[in-house]
Structure 1
Amino acid sequence: MSDKVLMLGNEAFARGAYEAGCKVSAAYPGTPSTEISEAIVKYDGIYSEWSPNEKVALEVAIGASISGVRALASMKHVGLNVAADPLFTASYTGVNGGLVVIVADDPGLYSSQNEQDTRAIARAAKIPVLEPADSQEAKEFVKFAFELSEKYDTPVIVRSTTRLSHSQGLVELNERLDIEDKPYVRDIAKYVMMPGNAKQRHLVVESRELALIKDSCDFPINKVEYKDSKIGVITSGIPYQYVKEALPEASVLKLGIVNPLPRKLIEEFASRVETLYIIEELDPVIEEQVKSWGINAIGKDILTVQGEYSANMLRRAIKGENISLLPAAELPNRPPILCPGCPHRSVYSVLKKLKIHGAGDIGCYTLGAVAPLGVVDTTICMGASISSLHGMEKAKGKEYIKNWVAVIGDSTFLHTGINSLINMVYNKSTGTVLILDNSTTGMTGHQDHAATGKTLKGEDTYAVDLEALCKAVGVPNVYVVDAFDINLLEKTVKEAVASDELAVIIAKAPCALLDKSPVTKQYTVNQENCKKCGQCMKPGCPAITKTENSEIVINDTMCNGCGLCESLCKFNAICSIKVR
């Protein structure tokens, strides 16, 4: 097979796993890595799943590897934090079948709460990192990563970024390799990381690191392009594309492996150029090591440690070119907002009316922090809403949190919220937790999870009962409320926060984008009854606008009939109309 097809970087990663003979794939959805699993599930021969979180996903892949098959775990950069515990120990145990972890970083913070650099974690864990620069390399590097994993008895990280994961490129397809399962041989000293065994395995890790430093100088994924010797550039990944565009005359060392660094290859390249630049997005991981070897190089002293790079940025920084851009029309800012009919808007409207602060979490509901809702005060990481509320109570007392709630989604609750809730029960908290149950993992594109009743493959499965789960861990007061029943929701929230007992309120309503049932009714404004009080506009529904003559109107192309506006109108000015 030698067909060429256009693929996203994430699709190419999936294809690489398929062609490499991978048999098990586990992940938790997280932009920009989500599409890897959504592409893998289409290939026969690979078992693929959504795991509750990244730690579980990596442990699933580790177990598959130990049993003797090639296995993959994929996640975004902050997901690697969740998976760090098994990752660092898997570096010591090594593998049986090849074990690859694809991690997608997010320079530019398109969909993340920080810009951390995966290479720094990999250096600490002493795990090799490969970094492709286009879709074709994305596929091939995954295949090469499995080979390295088995040859050097180590997990291997393949690092992506948003730009690579979501860019398209031509990919040449090949047949799937027929990889025989490796026999499992019981080896307590290798796989049981009690201190005595771990001390010996640490020696293996250090020896492996030295071997990789030496051997990687000859890896085919590194490429040297000698041109003008006046300027030399060391780079990797997507920045290589910017270097080729901005500095076509320069000599370039494109590193395919970025941890550990192929020292002799770098030293030889540096000796053959007059001025050496190191161009890497985010942290100076390569630069700091190269300079520590006594090599003069220019890097972050002229380039930023923040965000994405571009060809124009390099032209300005290195060539001193004043890049003139064509004047662009002034466009209004489009802040992110909840969709029309989103059940989170209804919940936040109630919280705002009650002047309640929200300890927030990661997901669509984070948008409750922005105007006009403005009820989410904190967002830290997955599951932190519940834990941080508990911390507030223990710091300031139960009276302090009478006007606070923790807000978390159903998928995030299953990700890391459960342990936090157990902690509240165990340590006698009295706070109120709102689980915004829209029956999906919304922000990453509507992936299933353990409470939706569907697997990644679309198969029916047991759906975790969130109400029963909360009761089972000991929550004394658990309420299930329709998210759009704002009167009952308001009553329930007021009772829960006033109580001296822990409470969980599950506000249920499907995601407006996920609900495929036909719209049977919409709403319109009776201008004669409308007092132009603006109550219906307070939740910020994009379907409701005010005209130049101050009339309130509802856009029928956006209204999906959720009824929130009608419930807020005290003058019967908003009426429902049937839709065929």
Structure 2
Amino acid sequence: MTTVKKVLTGNEAVARGFYEAGGLLASSYPGSPTVELLEAVKKYEGVYAEFSVNEKVALEVAIGSSFYGARSMVSMKHVGVNVAMDPLMTFTQTPMNGGFILVTGDDPGMASSQNEQDNRILGKFANMPILFPGSSQEAKDYAKLAFDLSEEFETPMMLDITSRVCHARGIVTEEPREEHEPKGFTPDNAKYTMLPPITHARQYAMKERIEALAKYAYDAPVNLLKEVEGSKVLLVASGLVYHNLLELNLPYSIYRPGMVYPLSGERMKELSEKYDRILVIEELLPFMENELKLMGISCEGKEWFSFTGELNTENIEAGLFNAGLITDRRLALLEKNDAVSRPPMFCSGCPHRPVFDILKKMKVLVMGDIGCYSMSVLPAFEASHTMISMGATVGITKGMNKVMRMKGNDKPLVSVIGDGTFFHSGMTGFANLLHQMEENDNMTFIILQNGTTAMTGGQGNGSSGKYDVNDDMHIDIKEMLSTMGIGNVQYVDQFDYNLFRDTLKEEVKKKGISVIIATRPCALKFKIKQPNYYVDPKICIGCRSCVKTNCPPIRMKQYPGIEKLKSSIDPNMCVGCSVCAQVCPVGAIKKSLKGEQKEWI
């Protein structure tokens, strides 16, 4: 067997495991930390991979593939599993025809997420066994094992991988692909139609399945015991926490469950009789700790370690010190960050910028959503006032509107949603707007149609074909909303600053539902570059109107012979969107000649 060693991220390693295991179909919805996984799968020949319109659909696509007997995988970030829970909770009742993996990217510390949920809880809730890798090699190996276990125990498998493991790189041994020919689909109501009384029997089948997996876990190869002679303390850790713990080189035995659910009760009770003290070290919720306590095993855990954020080696050492297991601390916790804080900002030429500059100046109440435009909550705009989940802005706007009108508050509400989010979960909300519409309702919706799922790397969405012939979906949002029955829908170019401002001001005065579709594409995704703009400091009055648009190339600087700070534009960063020139009250910002980069010296 020919093997080769490569340096891979955890995401790339899972993709490699999928390929080596004979996977045929992979689906996903882009969301950090698992975006790179499907992009890596797409590089392999002989497999089908797609970014679906949302996580629920992605799961259903993979379910169909598994029903036909193909090894199938669906991946998503942790909150994406919430979207997919409806079909998932029924699908886990069905016996597998083709091996099935659900990869969930948990995000301890919320590096790129709105919450910090622990999806091990959802895995148990759905009666799914959970594998928990802590390195790139483990990510590949566990993915392959997951397919085998899925078919052996006729169960979908959860592969729970955290942000740090997704993005960290490690040496991985690549092996040849093993083909697994799909068995085909044979109709069988007892397997594939989950209706009573069939589901009654499947409840017992799931229970028996978990019990069988617990027996497998007793001496499963992924569950590793590193014993230290004379140790009366057992440390339990999995995933990256286990590898961080090893760096401390402690004189204690360590048990590493690669399968964190189900744990083997028999194995854990044997260990509890051998050790005087058991400490569970895990990120987020006390999942394994609670599992042990449910078995009647005395253990410690979260009283010494944080319930939020990541547990690096320094945090683990501090927890063990507080627990009295070490007397000397060699590693100092980072308590102060001397780096100057810098909030994230829109890219140069981002079409979202003029929209939020206008909304901020209008001082209207804005319901926001998930996407690049979520940054509008932050300085320097602070122009959005809510952000909960994908597509939530539409229903939130309706609910707030109804109560405001009931209480005699006639102020307008503005909602902002991206085109990717619109197709993900906003469409149903728009349909629901038409239910029990009243004469005094006043809601204005801005759909930012930039043609890409920008925040997660520029994946396509339902209307990307408008800007790129290589994208195979070109759904006309205006026609779709008009077909639903929403009549007041118009396209407006937000780079025509005055037109967009005046249109928005006019629409918020109107009763009913108004929809403005902002038409400019993502400058980064589509590599938009026009002749740059520059500032004439002799005209500039230093009012900072351009600076307040929060565009990266713009800053205040000292010009030779001019005492007062004046605005300037970095010609290498400017992509020529013209917004700064349009907001300048004195005409000090001018367009350079075509092809010429100019900055006033």
Report if TM-score (shorter chain) is over 0.5: yes
1:151-175 Cα offsets, whole Å, 9 max, x none, are: 1111100000000000001111111
Matches of 2:449 and 2:345, distance apart in 1: 18
- Partner residue in 2 for 1:404: 413
Change (3 A) 1:6 1:201: same
Change (3 A) 1:472 1:23: same
Structure 2, unpaired ranges of 5+: 321-325, 559-563, 597-601
Is 1:36 the counterpart of 2:58? The answer is no
Matches of 2:6 and 2:83, distance apart in 1: 34
Structural RMSD (CA): 2.0
Query: Aligned to 1:553, which of 558, 561, 568?
Result: 568
Q: Which amino acid aligns with 1:16?
A: G
Query: Aligned to 2:586, which of 567, 571, 577?
Result: 571
Q: Which amino acid aligns with 2:376?
A: G
Q: What is the Cα deviation at residue 465 of structure 1? A: 1.4
Is 1:234 the counterpart of 2:236? The answer is yes
Is 1:347 the counterpart of 2:351? The answer is no
Change (3 A) 1:375 1:327: closer
Change (3 A) 1:155 1:400: farther
- Partner residue in 2 for 1:360: 368
1:368-387 Cα offsets, whole Å, 9 max, x none, are: 11122111000000000111
Map 1:418-433; keep pairs closer than 5 Å.
418-428=427-437, 430-433=442-445
- Partner residue in 2 for 1:511: 522
Q: Which amino acid aligns with 1:71?
A: S
- Partner residue in 2 for 1:2: 3
Q: Which amino acid aligns with 2:232?
A: K
Query: Aligned to 2:344, which of 333, 336, 341?
Result: 336
User: Share of identical aligned residues, percent?
Assistant: 39
Is 1:179 the counterpart of 2:180? The answer is yes
Is 1:290 the counterpart of 2:292? The answer is yes
Change (3 A) 1:389 1:168: same
Q: What is the Cα deviation at residue 308 of structure 1? A: 0.4
- Partner residue in 1 for 2:399: 391
- Partner residue in 1 for 2:312: 310
Matches of 2:332 and 2:279, distance apart in 1: 24
Q: Which amino acid aligns with 1:375?
A: A
- Partner residue in 2 for 1:470: 481
Q: What is the Cα deviation at residue 213 of structure 1? A: 1.2
Q: Which amino acid aligns with 1:130?
A: L
Q: What is the Cα deviation at residue 37 of structure 1? A: 0.5
Contact 2:315 2:333 in 1 (8 A): no
| Helix, strand or coil at the partner of 2:280 | strand
Matches of 1:403 and 1:128, distance apart in 2: 49
Matches of 1:202 and 1:21, distance apart in 2: 30
Matches of 1:295 and 1:223, distance apart in 2: 19
- Partner residue in 1 for 2:213: 212
Q: Which amino acid aligns with 1:486?
A: Y
Query: Aligned to 1:246, which of 232, 235, 248?
Result: 248
Change (3 A) 1:442 1:343: same
Contact 1:454 1:461 in 2 (8 A): no
Matches of 1:311 and 1:447, distance apart in 2: 35
Deviates more, 1:205-214 or 1:316-325: 316-325
1:521-575 Cα offsets, whole Å, 9 max, x none, are: 1111111111112211222222111226422111222211111110001211111
Change (3 A) 1:559 1:320: farther
Query: Aligned to 1:442, which of 454, 459, 463?
Result: 454
Q: What is the Cα deviation at residue 244 of structure 1? A: 0.4
Matches of 1:436 and 1:321, distance apart in 2: 55
Change (3 A) 1:212 1:369: same
Contact 1:449 1:455 in 2 (8 A): no
Matches of 2:33 and 2:162, distance apart in 1: 7
Matches of 1:455 and 1:176, distance apart in 2: 37
- Partner residue in 2 for 1:494: 505
Q: What is the Cα deviation at residue 326 of structure 1? A: 9.2
Contact 1:16 1:140 in 2 (8 A): yes
Change (3 A) 1:462 1:551: closer
Matches of 1:326 and 1:355, distance apart in 2: 40
Contact 2:458 2:525 in 1 (8 A): yes
Q: Which amino acid aligns with 2:455?
A: M
Q: What is the Cα deviation at residue 404 of structure 1? A: 2.1
1:238-266 Cα offsets, whole Å, 9 max, x none, are: 11111101244321111011111122222
Deviates more, 1:102-111 or 1:274-283: 274-283
| Helix, strand or coil at the partner of 2:164 | helix
Contact 2:412 2:443 in 1 (8 A): no
Contact 1:544 1:553 in 2 (8 A): yes
Query: Aligned to 1:534, which of 535, 544, 550?
Result: 544
Deviates more, 1:99-108 or 1:540-549: 540-549
Contact 1:448 1:454 in 2 (8 A): no
Change (3 A) 1:69 1:381: same
Deviates more, 1:31-40 or 1:334-343: 334-343
How many residues align structurally?
Answer: 578
Contact 2:460 2:471 in 1 (8 A): no
Q: What is the Cα deviation at residue 38 of structure 1? A: 0.2
Change (3 A) 1:326 1:161: closer
Q: What is the Cα deviation at residue 416 of structure 1? A: 0.2
Q: What is the Cα deviation at residue 96 of structure 1? A: 0.7
Deviates more, 1:156-165 or 1:207-216: 207-216
Change (3 A) 1:195 1:326: closer
- Partner residue in 1 for 2:561: none
Q: What is the Cα deviation at residue 93 of structure 1? A: 1.5
Matches of 1:225 and 1:358, distance apart in 2: 55
TM-score (normalizing by structure 2)? 0.93
Deviates more, 1:466-475 or 1:263-272: 263-272
| Helix, strand or coil at the partner of 1:461 | coil
1:323-377 Cα offsets, whole Å, 9 max, x none, are: 3479988321111111221111110011112112211111110111112211100
Matches of 2:366 and 2:44, distance apart in 1: 42
| Helix, strand or coil at the partner of 1:414 | helix
Contact 1:315 1:321 in 2 (8 A): no
Contact 1:135 1:164 in 2 (8 A): yes
Change (3 A) 1:88 1:280: same
Q: Which amino acid aligns with 2:573?
A: M
Q: What is the Cα deviation at residue 46 of structure 1? A: 1.0
Contact 1:246 1:312 in 2 (8 A): no
Matches of 1:328 and 1:207, distance apart in 2: 51
Contact 2:555 2:567 in 1 (8 A): yes
Change (3 A) 1:33 1:401: farther
Change (3 A) 1:401 1:432: farther
- Partner residue in 1 for 2:225: 224
Deviates more, 1:125-134 or 1:492-501: 492-501
Is 1:134 the counterpart of 2:144? The answer is no
Matches of 1:455 and 1:264, distance apart in 2: 59
Deviates more, 1:373-382 or 1:191-200: 191-200
- Partner residue in 1 for 2:164: 163
Q: Which amino acid aligns with 1:479?
A: Q
| Helix, strand or coil at the partner of 2:134 | coil
Matches of 2:43 and 2:14, distance apart in 1: 13
Q: Which amino acid aligns with 1:177?
A: E
Q: Which amino acid aligns with 1:369?
A: V
